[in-house]
Amino acid sequence: MEKPTILVVEDEPAIADTIQYALESEGFRCLRLEVGAGVVEVLDRQPVALVVLDIGLPDVSGVEVCRRIRQRHDVPVIFLTARGGEVDRVVGLELGADDYVIKPFSPRELAARAKAVLRRARSAGSASQSPPSGTAFKLDEERRQITYFGRPLELSRYEYKLLAVLLKRPGRVYSRDELLELVWDAPEASLDRTVDAHVKNLRAKLRDIRPDADPIATHRGMGYSLKEGL
């Protein structure tokens, strides 16, 4: 079986060497970049199972690199950072990062986190339940694509996963905690407002296609659901 490829984006050679050794010892293949500018191009050219991404890159912020990745790819991302404040964690996770490792860190811990993230990604990808048929939404899980009134939606990783959960059970009210558990890969590091922010973004994208419709219902003090009969 071909080894999964992990792209390590880290500008400090000593740290990158340590990460590469730890990951290759666990059976992964490593690619390395010292700057963020070429990350998306690498992902366009070849299959990558996971990106380990330093936030403090010399040319462009790792946060911006993650934003660019999410515009075109659904690959899992683990952030590396010297900062561990709540604001930094929330920003990273809302952008679609799957985990967050604070320097200095144990290489063995990073390798274990990488395996856990990939395990969760495989589990999410293997889900086979399909939403009820309707006219407004169509969910293509193999292509990870949702269309709305015949138009494909440009969604981030977590926007896609959040809407897919709602689509599979129209009318079912999900609390914020339930959505964090079902959608986010590190729910314990996320906040309720993370869900609210993603719902707000989803509504804006749906309004761009049908300004007269609002298919996501808010249940005050309880959570969100997809309206039935769509």
Per-residue pLDDT 10s for the chain (230 aa) are 578 899 999 999 999 999 999 999 999 999 999 999 999 999 988 889 999 999 889 999 888 898 888 888 888 899 888 765 554 555 556 666 778 788 888 888 899 989 888 887 775 554 444 444 456 899 888 778 899 988 899 998 889 999 999 998 888 899 888 888 888 876 555 566 889 999 999 999 999 999 888 999 999 888 999 988 76
According to the model, what pLDDT value does residue 92 have? 58
What is residue 40's predicted lDDT score, i.e. its pLDDT? Answer: 92
Q: At what angle do helices 86-94 and 62-72 cross, to 10 degrees?
A: 20
Same domain, 158 and 56: no
Q: What is the rounded CA–CA span in Å between residue 84 and residue 75?
A: 23
Which among 65, 94, 125 is the end of a domain? 125
Q: Are residues 20 and 110 in the same domain?
A: yes
Residue-level pLDDT at 89: 58
Q: What angle do CA 20, 101, 68 make, to 5 degrees?
A: 80
pTM to 2 decimals?
0.56
Specify whether 143 is located in the same domain as 119: no
Look at residue 100 in the predicted model and tell me its pLDDT.
79
Domain assignment of residue 130, yes or no = no
* Burial degree of 56 (CB within 10 A; 0-12, 13-18, 19+): middle
Q: Domain range for residue 68?
A: 5-125
In this structure, are 10 and 118 located in the same domain?
yes
* CATH of residue 177: 1.10.10.10
Whether residues 40 and 120 fall in one domain: yes
